[in-house]
Copies of this chain bind each other. A is one copy, B any other.
Amino acid sequence: MPFQIQVELIYQVLQPSTVLLSLHALSTPNQQLIQETFSVNEGVRCEIFPLEIGQNRYVRVATGDQEELKLVYEVEVETHPDSQRIRDIRDVPVGHLPRVALPYLFPSRYCESDRLYRLAGQLFGKIDHPLAQAQAISDWIFQNVSYVPGISNASTGACETLVERAGVCRDFAHLGIALCRALSIPARYFTGYACGMKPQDFHACFEVCVGGDWFVFDPTRLAAPNGLVRIASGRDAADASLATIFGAMNLTSMKVSCESSDFQPLHREDLQGRAVNLEP
């Protein structure tokens, strides 16, 4: 059941610029890259550095004097998502969390969890299992926040989304992360591709760490959790921006597709009382 992913990005380059790109699928034990190609338009004198920051691969491209930057990325990926019964996953107190999870307890640029202790406690504090809390948070966001493109921007954080009650996948994920962290559940931002999502686009959701594993939640309900292909993990979108531009470039065209010939999406009713983890 491999996923076929194709991305084409075209930028108008207004001045010689450097761009950090985060669009390569990660290679992990549960996410195998079968075949991968990445190209930039011929004229561009570019340097490519595959980077490792935390778990992410970055590519750094310097445009030189070219007026257009065209990036084409294609990859075939196989994933092995798993699901576990929430009640079977042992809750670990903060004092025993794995060390790698600790940074994901702290507030970050778009996830101001330090301001949300009271609210998170009121709404979700009585639920007795952190994965049930994360599920309730994801459901609450779906029910209380409207998916409205164009209402948020690159500065929008979780508290603003909480007030405005509208946003896109990025905002939904930030709010989910902030509420989880406010309950002392480590939570991180997930960006990736989503098989079968309509319309096709990059997607964002969030993962929480319970009992040593990371489980994924999508408060937009736009993507099936078993159709996700990870590009990056991070504290929030500041860590996992598709493109960080130093200079001046405009995105003039973007095509994304993630398909599979035999994909069977997991639905919510398939997952009662269970949570999906993408990596073992």
Give residues in A with beta carbon < 8 Å to B: 18, 20, 47, 49, 51-54, 58, 60, 62, 93-95, 99, 102-103, 105-109, 111-112, 114-116, 118-119, 122, 144, 146, 154-155, 159, 162-166, 184, 238-239, 241, 244, 246
Q: Is the CB of A62 within 8 A of B95?
A: yes
A99–B52 CB distance below 8 A: yes
Contact B53 A99 (CB under 8 A): yes
Contact among B94, B112, B166 for A118, CB-based, below 8 A: B166
When the two chains form the complex, which single residue of B109, B112, B114, B246 contacts A107, counting CB atoms closer than 8 Å? Answer: B109
Roughly how many angstroms separate A40 CA and B51 CA in the complex, as a whole number? Answer: 42
In the complex the two chains form, is B51's CB within 8 Å of A106's CB? Answer: no
Inter-chain CA distance A51–B94, complex, in Å, is 14
Interchain CB contact under 8 A, B239 and A106: yes
Which B residues are in CB contact (< 8 Å) with A244?
105-106
Chain B residues lying within 8 Å of A239, measured Cβ to Cβ, are 103, 106
A-B contact list, 21 entries, CB within 8 Å: A18-B95, A20-B102, A51-B99, A53-B103, A54-B103, A94-B246, A95-B246, A107-B109, A107-B238, A108-B238, A109-B112, A114-B154, A114-B238, A118-B146, A118-B164, A118-B166, A119-B164, A119-B165, A122-B144, A159-B163, A162-B162
In the complex the two chains form, what is the Cα distance from A68 to B107 in whole Å? 27
CA distance A84 to B62 in the complex (A): 30
Which A-B residue pairs are the 8 nearest by beta carbons? A118-B165, A18-B95, A106-B238, A94-B246, A62-B95, A107-B109, A18-B94, A159-B163
| Cβ-defined contact, A114 with B163, below 8 A | no
Give the residues in chain B near A155, CB-CB below 8 Å.
112, 114-115
The answer to whether A60 and B165 touch across the interface, beta carbons within 8 angstroms, is no
Q: How far is the CA of A109 from the CA of B239 in the complex (A)?
A: 12
Known: A18-B93, A122-B144. A106 touches B106 (CB 8 A): no
Contact A53 to B102, CB < 8 A, known contacts A93-B18, A108-B238 = yes
A99–B95 CA distance with the chains assembled, in angstroms: 32
Least distance between A143 CB and chain B CB atoms (Å)? 9
**Which residues on B sit within 8 Å (CB–CB) of A51?**
99, 102
Asked whether B60 lies within 8 Å of A116 as measured between CB atoms, the reply is: no
